[in-house]
């Protein structure tokens, strides 16, 4: 286990006034810090109530203190957690006391988690899962992030790795005994191993787009002609005045976004400019932006006038409704944001469409994972093609398998990820 020489500290709970605040200290000086603050080191993993004093013996606060020995903590290092009263003054004073101690410094963004990675307590996929869990706003995001944080993706990558190492070992054994009679033909077992890994990779690759959508959120665009009730409908779904409404066409010129939780799924509703021909330059820019965002959205809700068709080509899952049902004598297939007629049904329809798309959800959640798996799939395909050419090409096939293994190793951070670490950890808060 590689440990860093300096000791870091930070507020690990949310800043601001609270019932309890947690300050975390990690590194080789933890025991000295504990003795300086409260006179002793508590029993490992046992919450102990202690008075915290500064270097002059003046009371700072009464706190629950937890000590975690090296190898039994989040970071893998010795860790001290100080559970103080959540007063801003108490937290600030404690941080100043820690900052005045020799050998201690304030942690950088994500540094506790980075140490956990460097000390082998987490793999890179788990780090990403932790980041997603911290950012999770909906139930679907929480479940997905927790799967990755729990190591499901790393375990799957390790299974693939073991199978490929087995296949490579069989091929290399054949190469080693090329001048002798090999008692067993290894080709069927190697083919089965490669085919099994390839199929599982393809399944995960197909599910990445949906998983990433759950992580970042689905986009649902409300599209239609001017003054057909789009902004009023957005406000009705959002439950607040998110968009300006008026009887004048062209009121909405920019895309209005409202992020919400629909049935546990993260959804961003888009209110777009009314689609029509116009000589107004600014409105024209808004219309082009509306078309672009509508085309890029995961789902479109078209509001049309009775007897009219959508202004853009609809996709099979798109929802087409007649707007302003409150002004119609025949409200079949119509909706009204003003009265709320049809709004619950629309919300249910949106949930159903998006929920069906999560059926092929994979464990891999990021574009980085997809790229690594695609690279592995391509090299496995090349390896299988070379393998079919016979024992004379087995050395090339073995190299293709090694390339595939390296691609999968990048998922969990064994290789080729150093340039990603600063970017990943920069998204963490200081105390994590």
Better pLDDT: 174 or 400: 400
In our burial notation (b when 16+ CB lie closer than 10 A, e otherwise), range 307-342 reads eeebbbeeeeebbebbbbbbeeeebeebbbbbeeeb
Q: What is the dihedral of CA 152, 153, 158, 163, to 10 degrees?
A: 100
What is the structure's pLDDT at 158?
A: 93
Q: Which residues pair with 25 in a beta bridge?
A: 9, 80
Per residue in 281-340, pLDDT (tens digit) is 776 777 778 788 888 889 999 988 887 888 888 888 999 999 888 888 787 888 988 888
* β-strands 48-53, 256-262 pairing: unpaired
Look at residues 33, 29, 62, 32 and name the one whose alpha carbon lies nearest to residue 47: 62
What is the structure's pLDDT at 202?
A: 94
CA distance 347 to 349: 5
CA distance 127 to 216: 17
On the question of pLDDT at 254 being above 80, the answer is: no
Classify residue 371 as exposed, middle or buried by CB count within 10 Å of its CB (0-12, 13-18, 19+): middle
pTM here? 0.77
Q: What is the dihedral of CA 144, 146, 147, 153, to 10 degrees?
A: 100
pLDDT category of residue 258 using cuts at 50, 70 and 90: confident
Better pLDDT: 99 or 390: 99
What is the structure's pLDDT at 186?
A: 72
pLDDT category of residue 58 using cuts at 50, 70 and 90: very high
Per residue in 129-173, pLDDT (tens digit) is 999 999 999 999 999 999 999 999 999 999 999 999 988 888 877
Percent of the chain at pLDDT exceeding 70: 87
What is the structure's pLDDT at 273?
A: 75
CA distance 427 to 337: 38
- 319-322: strand order across its sheet: 256-262, 265-271, 218-224, 299-304, 319-322
Q: What is the dihedral of CA 166, 169, 174, 176, to 10 degrees?
A: -170
CA distance 119 to 276: 59
Per residue in 344-358, pLDDT (tens digit) is 999 999 999 999 988
Segment 352-376 shows an average pLDDT of 90
Segment 209-213 shows an average pLDDT of 89
Cβ-contact 285, 322 below 8 angstroms: no
**DSSP one-letter string for 36-79:** HHHSSPPPBT--EEEEEE-TTS-EEEEEEEEEE-TTSSSSSS-E
Range with lowest mean pLDDT among 121-135, 196-210, 415-429: 415-429
What is the structure's pLDDT at 245?
A: 46
pLDDT category of residue 1 using cuts at 50, 70 and 90: very low
Better pLDDT: 6 or 272: 6
Cβ-contact 42, 48 below 8 angstroms: yes
On the question of pLDDT at 251 being above 50, the answer is: no
CA 238 vs. chain centroid, Å, equals: 24
Look at residues 270, 234, 200, 209 and name the one whose alpha carbon lies nearest to residue 343: 234
On the question of pLDDT at 244 being above 50, the answer is: no
3-state helix, strand, coil in the chain (%, to 5): 45, 15, 35
Q: Give the chain's mean pLDDT.
A: 86
What is the structure's pLDDT at 249?
A: 43
pLDDT category of residue 426 using cuts at 50, 70 and 90: low
**DSSP one-letter string for 337-397:** TTT-TTHHHHHHHHHHHHHHHTTT--S--SHHHHHHHHHHHHHHHHHHHHHTT-GGGHHHH
What is the structure's pLDDT at 184?
A: 58
What is the structure's pLDDT at 424?
A: 55
**What are the residue ranges of helices labelled H in 108-151?**
111-118, 124-135, 139-149
Per residue in 187-208, pLDDT (tens digit) is 888 889 999 999 999 999 999 9
CA distance 334 to 246: 20
Cβ-contact 311, 291 below 8 angstroms: no
């Amino acid at each position: 286990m590689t440990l860093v020489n300096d000791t870091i500290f930070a507020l690990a709970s949310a800043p601001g006034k609270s019932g309890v605040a947690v300050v975390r200290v990690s590194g080789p000086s933890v025991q000295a810090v504990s003795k300086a603050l409260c006179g002793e080191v508590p029993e490992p993993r046992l919450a102990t109530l202690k008075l915290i004093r500064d270097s002059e013996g003046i009371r700072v606060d009464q706190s629950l203190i937890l000590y975690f020995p090296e190898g039994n903590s989040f970071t893998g290092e010795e860790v001290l957690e100080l559970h103080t009263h959540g007063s801003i003054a108490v937290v600030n004073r404690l941080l100043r006391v820690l900052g005045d101690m020799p050998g201690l410094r304030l942690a950088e963004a994500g540094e506790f988690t980075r140490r956990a990675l460097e000390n082998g307590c987490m793999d890179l996929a788990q780090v990403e899962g932790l980041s997603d869990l911290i950012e999770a706003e909906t139930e679907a995001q929480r479940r997905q992030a927790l799967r990755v944080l729990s190591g499901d993706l790393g375990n799957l990558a390790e299974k693939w790795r073991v199978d490929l190492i087995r296949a490579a070992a069989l091929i290399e054994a054949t190469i080693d005994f090329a001048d002798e009679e090999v008692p067993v033909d290894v080709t069927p077992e190697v083919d089965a191993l490669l085919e099994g890994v390839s199929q599982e990779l393809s399944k995960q690759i197909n599910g990445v787009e949906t998983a990433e959508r759950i992580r970042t959120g689905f986009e649902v665009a409300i599209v239609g002609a001017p003054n057909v009730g789009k902004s009023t409908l957005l406000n009705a779904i959002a439950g607040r005045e998110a968009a300006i409404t008026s009887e004048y066409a062209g009121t909405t010129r920019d895309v209005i976004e409202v992020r919400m939780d629909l049935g546990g799924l993260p959804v961003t509703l888009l209110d777009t400019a009314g689609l029509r021909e116009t000589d107004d330059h600014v409105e024209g820019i808004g219309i082009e932006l509306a078309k672009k965002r509508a085309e890029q959205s995961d789902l479109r809700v078209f509001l049309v006038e009775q007897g009219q068709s959508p202004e853009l080509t609809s996709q099979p899952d798109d929802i087409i409704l007649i707007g302003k049902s409150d002004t119609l004598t025949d409200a079949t297939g119509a909706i009204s944001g003003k009265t709320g007629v049809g709004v619950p049904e629309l919300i249910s329809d949106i949930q159903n469409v998006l929920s069906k798309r999560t059926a092929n959800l994979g464990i891999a959640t990021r574009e980085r994972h997809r790229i690594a798996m695609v690279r592995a799939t391509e090299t496995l395909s090349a390896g299988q093609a070379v393998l079919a050419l016979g024992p004379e090409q087995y050395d090339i096939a073995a190299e293709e398998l090694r390339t595939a293994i390296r691609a999968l190793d990048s998922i969990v951070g064994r290789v080729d990820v150093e340039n990603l670490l600063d970017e990943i950890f920069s998204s963490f808060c200081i105390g994590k």
